[in-house]
Structure 1
Amino acid sequence: MSQVQSKTSDKTAVIYRMVMDKHVCPYGLKSKDLLERRGYEVEDHHLTTRAETDAFKAEHGVETTPQIFIGGERIGGHSDLRAYFGNPVKPKDETTYRPVLAIFAVAALTALAFSWFALGTLLSIRVIEWFFAISMVLLGLQKLQDVESFSTMFLNYDLLAKRWVPYGRIYPFAETLSGLLMIAGTLTFISAPIALFIGTVGAVSVFYAVYVQKRELKCACVGGGSNVPLGFVSLTENLVMIAMGLWMPVSMYLLA
């Protein structure tokens, strides 16, 4: 195979990526797109067979493709290219609140959509109720994707689950059911006690683990694969369920 060809222009890049009948490397596509969005003219070389790919990696002493070259210098793969442009890929185990914030944002917008459709207004008590209830459903859904994984992470800090392991498997169903009943505005005698119970146990557990034991843990609030840190947001989730458990009976009484 010939040596990597490159041009002298600062805005020219060379990329070698896998493009085969049954596989097109997604990181190759992302790298090409990133370069073009940065204003680079991309000299795009396709590695169309496994043998060609292996020969390229052996020639350049690399283990993966794509490989990007700028100004004759090998930058590396997609992660290296992002770092080159000052936007490195975050480590997979780095904690972030982004997943739970995304859920809350979608829940808020959905509550507003419900209110506009059902009540013709964006300003009502039901918007707040729907927001909290929809948040519970979405958070429960995340846990239901892999109940066993959730329950395993949950055992790290939940006080009741540590004493009675099946509680970790029941929790996602209870949270989701309570949220759905609250959205429907029915069977409050079921939804409110559930929310009050799991919210209280959760709040005590999180407070004890974070503020008493001062442990640094990941929260199972968005499922067993979560990188959300256990802390204030996790405590807030449980306090919201407590508030809903107390408010819904009052709300039903006021509307009666």
Structure 2
Amino acid sequence: MVHKYQITGMTCTSCEAKVKSDLLMTENVTDVSVSKEDNSATITMSKHVALSDLQKNLNPKYSISAINHSEITEQAKSWFETYKPILLIFFYIGLVTLLIQLKNESFRSMEWMRHFMVAFFLVFSFFKLLNLKGFVESYVMYDVIAKRLPIWGYIYAFTELGLGIAFLIDFNPLFTNVVTFIVMSVSIIGVLQSVLNKRKIQCACLGAVFNLPMSQVTIIEDAIMIGMSGIMILNLI
């Protein structure tokens, strides 16, 4: 079910991110969209949540109230429908990089992993850069560095782009893989914390283009990059 509420007290764009983060901490709230322009919040719930419970989780400077409290029912998505965008991306990346190997007499695992990482970083950075501001607003909600240093969200998006290009031109393989291993290892910390704490927040892996909830899928995504870069480092030293 989806409810729309009026929010008062928002004065800047960062307030949107703060209100969204606070409301997502409420039990049974699965998604939140906040707009400073019309001072509203559209909240998706798995079960009805009392207005008092929503207010309790908000910073005291913000106030939430009903807008003629009209309710919109929404059919729950299946697991596949929810994660279809990221699953299709991994399918296409995996298929294309495997087809590239057909030109070789034998399967070259190191080359395949490099090609996979080229596609991964270029595709995922592309979606982040489509709405860089939206990506950063989602990313600061869970990343351990971006929480304290929001500019890291902007740096991270371009770091992914840089890594994709570095893998593409095979620039200093050892350096590129070490940077990848470090960056993705730091990134997975916030993801693990959010999933283990069962926080209902949006995953920023595909930027703000798709509304993907944080889950084990995000952990697997980061773990694949950590694993591949780790294997390639061991192969290079």
Equivalent residue letter for 1:150: F
Equivalent residue letter for 1:242: I
Equivalent residue letter for 1:237: E
Aligned to 1:218: 202
Matched, 1:128 2:113: yes
Q: CA deviation at 1:151?
A: 0.6
Matched, 1:244 2:225: no
Give the count of matched residue pairs: 161
Instruction: Determine what percentage of the aligned residue pairs are the same residue.
Output: 25
Match of 1:111 among 97, 119, 139: 97
Structure 2 matches for 1:201-212, cutoff 5 A? 201-211=186-196
| Secondary structure class of the residue paired with 2:213 | coil
CA change 1:129–1:230 in 2 (3 A) is same
| Secondary structure class of the residue paired with 2:147 | helix
Aligned to 1:185: 170
Q: Output the CA distance in 2 between the equivalents of 1:181 and 1:120.
A: 26
Contact 1:95 1:218 (8 Å CA) reproduced:
no
Deviations 1:55-100 (A, max 9, x none): xxxxxxxxxxxxxxxxxxxxxxxxxxxxxxxxx9878xx9711111
Structure 2 matches for 1:78-89, cutoff 5 A? none
CA change 1:243–1:179 in 2 (3 A) is farther
Q: Output the CA distance in 2 between the equivalents of 1:164 and 1:183.
A: 29
Q: Choose 133-142 or 148-157, whichever is displaced more.
A: 133-142
Give TM-score, length-normalised by structure 2: 0.60
Aligned to 1:153: 138
Deviations 1:30-51 (A, max 9, x none): xxxxxxxxxxxxxxxxxxxxxx
Matched, 1:232 2:216: yes
Match of 1:139 among 118, 124, 143: 124
Structure 2 matches for 1:81-100, cutoff 5 A? 96-100=82-86
Q: CA deviation at 1:198?
A: 1.9
Q: Output the CA distance in 1 between the equivalents of 2:75 and 2:214.
A: 23
Equivalent residue letter for 2:234: V
Give TM-score, length-normalised by structure 1: 0.56
CA change 1:120–1:148 in 2 (3 A) is farther
Runs of 4+ in structure 1 over 4 Å off: 88-91
Q: Output the CA distance in 2 between the equivalents of 1:146 and 1:242.
A: 26
Stretches of structure 1 that go unaligned for 5 or more consecutive residues are 1-87
Tell me the C-alpha RMSD between the 2 structures: 2.5
| Secondary structure class of the residue paired with 1:96 | helix
Q: Output the CA distance in 2 between the equivalents of 1:181 and 1:244.
A: 15
Structure number with the bigger relative contact order (C-alpha 8 A, sep ≥ 6) is 2
Contact 2:174 2:236 (8 Å CA) reproduced:
no
Stretches of structure 2 that go unaligned for 5 or more consecutive residues are 1-73
* Greater strand fraction, Structure 1 or Structure 2: 2
Q: Output the CA distance in 2 between the equivalents of 1:151 and 1:196.
A: 21
Q: Output the CA distance in 2 between the equivalents of 1:115 and 1:145.
A: 31
Aligned to 1:164: 149
